[in-house]
A = this chain, B = another copy of it.
């Protein structure tokens, strides 16, 4: 969320309560109506604010939904379960739990689809959602290297490519399982995913 006037000290401040109410109302509207039938007028009514207030803070539906969905991923953390396999399973299960919520399912893919034709929206998604997740991959990898479960990185560029690959494989698999195949990413499935991934990484790193 960008301040239009970074050093604006005068005037009536924007209501912080309105922000949280609007984002919560947006998520609930996603649950009730889905992406295409969600209207900003409806969100305004649900949040108890005027429609014009929405347009003063967000450029349109896309930007609003990105912010509303991004908040869902704030709860992602990297648990320390003692082993790389257990850590991965923990994160993936958290990720799956978020994607199980209807507000995430309806909103996330819709904004990704819109972002294919909107560079600014792509950047917003990257900064608000993707980077936050990728940080967990990097942290988990670093911790595994400290434990000796993965060999230390020799080449920086090569390491970056590995992180990108792992990230796309983990997040992509869970998203595809949940949204396209439409089946739950439960513990059994996550366990299988983790096993294939770790075996492949260990063998491929040689």
Contacts and interface: CB of A to CB of B under 8 A. Distances in A.
A179 B106 contact: no
B204 A196 contact: yes
Interface residues of A, number: 56
Contact of A177 (B122, B172, B193, B197): B172
Contact of A122 (B62, B112, B182): B182
A183 interface: yes
Contact of A199 (B112, B130, B199): B199
A contacts with B: majority SS: helix
A34 interface: yes
A48 to B, nearest CB: 25
A180 interface: yes
A136 interface: no
Contacts of A169: 169, 172-173, 176, 193, 196
Interface string A168-206: 110111111101111100000100110111111111100
A162 to B, nearest CB: 8
The winner among A61, A113, A122, A130 for most chain B CB atoms within 10 A is A113
Contact of A172 (B109, B126, B174): B174
A74 interface: no
B130 A181 contact: yes
Interface string A152-168: 00000000011011011
B176 A168 contact: yes
Given A114-B34, A195-B204, A164 B181 contact: yes
Interface of A: 33-36, 61-62, 102, 105-110, 112-118, 122, 125-126, 130, 161-162, 164-165, 167-169, 171-177, 179-183, 189, 192-193, 195-204
17 contacts: A34-B113, A35-B113, A102-B116, A105-B113, A106-B117, A107-B113, A109-B116, A112-B180, A113-B113, A164-B181, A165-B189, A165-B192, A165-B193, A168-B173, A172-B180, A195-B204, A202-B203
